[in-house]
Structure 1
Amino acid sequence: MNAVVLAVVVMVALSMMRVSVAFALVLASVVGGLAAGMPMNTIVQAFNDGLGGGAGVALAYATLGAFAVALSQTGIAQRLSARVVAHVNASGRTQREMAVVKWGMLGCLVLAGFAAETVVPVHIAFIPILVPPLLHVMNRLQLDRRLTACALTFSITMMYMAVPVGFGTIFLNDILIGNINQAGAAEGLAVSTAQAPLAMLIPALGMVAGLAIALFSYRGKRQYADRPVAGEHRLEADTRLTRRQIALIVAALVSALAVQLWTGSMVFGGLVGFGFLSMSGVMRWRDQDDVTTQGMRLMAQVGFIMIAAAGFAAVMKASGEIPALVSGSVELIGDQRGVAALVMLLVGLFITMGIGSSFSTVPIIASIYVPLALGFGFSPLAVIALVGTAAALGDAGSPASDSTLGPTAGLNADGQHDHIWDTVVPTFLHFNLPLMAAGWIAAMIL
């Protein structure tokens, strides 16, 4: 068995046995490295060298966590939750009205995810702030949290796949198109940023189909105990905001997006947004350090897992088994374009499942996939769709992905939502299969 495949299987198996995802990644790195014939000291060196690659992402999430906690001091999330709770708790509510609240709340969470990927670039940091106050409402509605997890994962994954704004600018323009042009330079391939949304439209529709299936799968009611929610002890922010405070809050949101787009850095965008919120007076100056620490703690688990995932990716690259996995698959393909597209998507699924980040997968597979796809006669649009979909596969459904860690961070605030069985498995089944089918169709018809 190929060492990369073995390492991914070990990582997923350990995670499903409730071993910590960070520990599972470390152990899987060792297993994969040994299977590839690497000495133990080389494995450790490669893993340590790779840790730095995840440090930037971890710092970005810590910064966005601080920005999100500072936003929570404005009382926006508390006021939204209080209104929903008051509406649900009012006497005489009919089943029809409760259904409107249920679907309306899910729709608002999806829209919040859309905004967090584009106009308010806080990524998953909004989830642990907005979702926990709504858990009591979800319990009252007997809403299956697996459906909520699918809705959140959909909202933060589909936007960067298809919309070149915010995080989509980084994924589509900088990473996807940039790496494809670099890998295809020798073959004379040159694609433009305008082609990326067109190529990824059909795969994005696959994500929409997956959400529609999840709405049917988890339409039934599910009972949850009404337990205390982590963070409920926090004091609610003053609901009376001055015009100056409102203006600075808007400036914080706009500047965070503008700086992130200008610099390409989530860290600087989050810092500038945090700076404007600091000047607004929604939190006391002496409390800034506490808010920053609270935000970093909020995203600490995600950060550690992303750092471990970077080490895992470094070991897999150092093993030399990724090209072997692709070349071995090519030998089985022959000259069949349809089979070639399917195999490339499957290999991308395995790689992203282990790494946990579609952003990190593109540089790994583009150098291999672009010449391979051109050799099979795929068009430039089809090449973009293949590489982009192969990278996105596994982002939804990987135990180490921020697209699954984020929803769990919010939905498990009362200890009743399991990361693997309530987030990872549902999102894997409902998004990866439709996404693979849609990516294959895009590659064949574009």
Structure 2
Amino acid sequence: MKRSDPIAVVGAGPAGLCAADTLAQLGYANVTVFEANERVGGKVCSVPTPAGIVEMGAVLASSECDLVLGLARRFDIPYAAYPVPQHYLDEHGRRHDAAGFLASRYDAATIARAIAAYADALARCAALNDSDLSSIDGDLQLPFERYAALHGFAPVAELARGALVGFGYGYYDTVPACYYMKLIGWLLRPDGQGGLRPGEFFMFPQGFQGLWEALARELDVRLGTPVTALRRAADGGVRITAGGVEQAYAAAIVAAPLHTAGSFVALSDAERVLFGQLRSHRYVVSAFAASGLATGEFLFLHENEVAARCGHMNAWANRNPALPMYLGWQLAPRAASAQALTALLADDIARQGGRLERVALRQEWDYFPHVDDTALGQRFFERVAALQGDGQVWYVGGALHFETVEHSARQARALVRRAFDRAAHA
């Protein structure tokens, strides 16, 4: 393709915007981003309220988020350390920090062995920080619970379960280890002296979404313009219908979730089979007012981190001790009504001696597209990689890496560089 050829990007979340930005860096001057919604950011959703910015999507950036924090510096978007500590509420109603949680359940020798084994596992999995999941060792296909037990760090895995479940990634007795091992090292780090230290996390005081709005201002982004049809043209390139208008493009990059792509992409048989193997979670974020609860903490509810408690709150946070407003996160059954989820929210609050006053905002996400161990064993990611560029259509986003903002953006940037940087392949 020539640098002047028209290229379409479908979706203005972090993956789509980073794909378009990378194309611009490579000199492509005719790139259009189509977004069905009236805002950019995808699952980064910052809502202004009288009480301040409320993050109804992504909340944090880790110090490992080189791409995200680099964009923040590029656009002078301020970020600051997350202002309150993380605590773990055990099944007996006792609060702990990370070290206290482990000490309440295991003896010192067991903890030391688990941390040493955990450090070894992180070192073995360093390659998982690459931009895709196309090569996965056999035991990383195991459910994370089995993987952690096999490699001797089950106590650390139990501690990490709060964040892994609380952040919407399912239950650690079913999700393959390759997914969790991408994130766990950001949450808990060996300190080199036989202990653990928590990850370093940042927030965006003016709203996480503002970062993506700043990036979008440098691109041609068409908001409120859903792509309703995308098909490969017989004479090369693609035909896209967006906003009711069909146009020809030399190539298309689809940044929509792969398990939804069939709603507008004319998929090949191979794509239909592969994308049909993806599963996702119903993940609910509620901003609520409550009385009688502790403030100034990020709390993981250990008792609710199992499938039998699906629908209950996995975590809640209050980052302003002077204001009894909270964010709560629930992995939810598909059939549960909004009223049922509010009742479970109220029950979890009451168990801590509090009272739910009102739910001010609620946002549901179709979250964490992923495949099971069977699909991994059938080389799912390698088979998808082999389809990239077929008929000038490429795919980016969370389903091809791991659904954090950073991982999704990394995968998009790396894919575009591999596929569109002619100089790199000259």
Give the structure-2-normalised TM-score: 0.31
Structure that is richer in helix per residue: 1
